[in-house]
Structure 1
């Protein structure tokens, strides 16, 4: 019974006893209670001889963790007998799950349990780095093989895409070349027709230049005469008729110039497109011929990105088709314009002559009316000058009259001053003379104010007359300027108007 008491069933099981139930282990920090023989004071006869530890069959080596190991340190026992000093249980992070505070005496310091020592041995002996190296080697070789297989697949797919791209580029390059040849031929033909058209348009520049110069000269008139009179209307009609006559020539020439610029722009655009496609075709062919064994391979850091000017495939296809379509549209417009050059020109020389006569008649009417108006303005100016002289004489008369009234005001004030301050005591009374002087002073003041008001009115009238004089002089100068333009300068310019015979002769 004593032997059974001193034998730990969890660590050293007896061979005669078969443990059928699963052992229950103590949790760190819990006490085993009265099972510890050293929990009570020493009693003689308790010490037993050593017993050999028996391990179950198939147990790991003794330096490795055993199935019967416990994480509690209370099985070591602490009492009055043994190498352990008295102490008390406490929690400590250093002891892990033992729950035993290190006990220190004069012989040793205890920190870990036997189970912890065996677990540490297992941790040290486990070849973690070696297994990890083997696994890393196997996985790495497998990953590298998969990576190269994927790289080969990606490269094959890229080569297919490059071949497809080369076919598309070749197709569009041929289309662009055909369009470029057509627009170049159209430019040569249109240039020949333009040369012939310039000779026909040259003679029509003179009448239009004369009409436009007449209109430009009439814009130099002063502001009151900048009116849309009959002469102005006829000159505008003359320009319109000249434009109608030369519409087929000069306007068509402008259209030809514009069309030529459009043709050249279209040719330049299609040439740029062709050049870009040739460069791209050359680059893609070179890329398709490159292999990992090529000797022209270099590192180019930062190229695995979309360039700033990169476009989408849809836009590229749209641009290619639209570029060719735009060039074809411009070429068809040029062909239609060349067909319009063969249109017969209506003979408008008689209309030009009639319109020139209408313009000259309207200018003569305008000159006659302006001369009459200028004569009337000069008469009004003479009358205005006489009125100015009369009003200035009136102002001088009013000022002289005001000076006389001021003298009378001084007389009345002097009399009132003497009577107010020189008469003593009761003599300073309000007699009839005093009332008469005050009434006289009041009347003199009213008269003076009335004269001042009349002087102001006269000066206002004189200012208006002076302003009217300036307006008349300005109008006379304006009319003389208009007469000089319509009667002299326009006549000299219109003397160079070509006759119908000259126009018809070309």
Structure 2
């Protein structure tokens, strides 16, 4: 500071240039106005002390314990000089005078270091809320940040809850689809199992027509030699056995396909049930998470869980897996449905073919029975005629024998007459007269007729033998035909009456 310039912070009572004056002294005054005069500048005169006068501050001034707008920078001056009746010492000038003001006087009653202005400024400094403002600002800022934090956390939780709700909705939708697919494949397994049981029953039923056809073939081997032929009925029975074998082969192959398809259905059901179980557990977890809140009693600290799991998948793969799981299950179910259609077609067509072949066999058997019956009737008619002819021939033979006996008597008569005439007539009387010629001619005629009758008798015997032989043949043929009729009409017909019908296959 220059030496000629006055210092506003210097005490007017110390500085010689401005002694007795103070920059702010004009601002102080009594109620009536006028400048303040320090009575301690002059020597004490009794009765000079004035009554107390209250200081008046401008309107709107702060409290008196705080700095006033009328104060100087050095604070209020003391109404006591460095010398006087009460001065017990002298003033010290220090380098802190510009900051703290002039050091007050020190007497025997008190040691005062600060001025009133300094005291007021100290009060202001003490009363000024430094850390409090900082604390208030910090509190306001932190509360705002905490409120923002909780708002952000709440928004994040709301977003998570919305995403969880959407996820639960998606899971519920897929779970219903998977459950529908699981119910469908379960129903298909039950239906296919019923169809498989029907196919097994159809295979067991096939044993009956096969046994009937084989029994008929075996019975027909008991026919006698002439009727042991491969007729239409025999051929149809052989065809029937072959058709039964083909139907059994088809049934066996279809049954193997059904068994394989049943394994596929069960595998598809196990896969879809596993997917359904996973979705149910996931749905339970997500619903549990959706019900949770910061006030829940089930929440715990799990450090290190904010990371992607090692076996985690993407949402696209999850959707692809869900759709593929349902599609695979539906494909297996459709394949099973098609196999059921083929299975029923095999049973229905097989039963129809078996019925058709059975009708062909029955018709062939009927035709054979009719032909055999007609032949048997004709044979019986011939047998009757043969018996009649045989009786007639036997009567003829008897008549021929009787005739031969009569001819023999005539022969004997003729020979007796000739013997008497040849050996009993004497000498010349034994002549060849007309009687002799007549007897010889008679004997010759009788001999010829006897030989003719014997030839006829032999022919009659031969015819009788032929008739007897034919009779045996007829009786044998009739027995053969009756045997065939008994086999075809009785035993085979009774056996074939138990042939299964398509209705029996359809009722399985």
Class of the TM-score when normalised by the shorter of the 2 chains: 0.3 to 0.5
The TM-score normalised by the length of structure 1 is 0.40
Look at both structures and tell me which one has the larger radius of gyration over its CA atoms: 2
The TM-score normalised by the length of structure 2 is 0.39
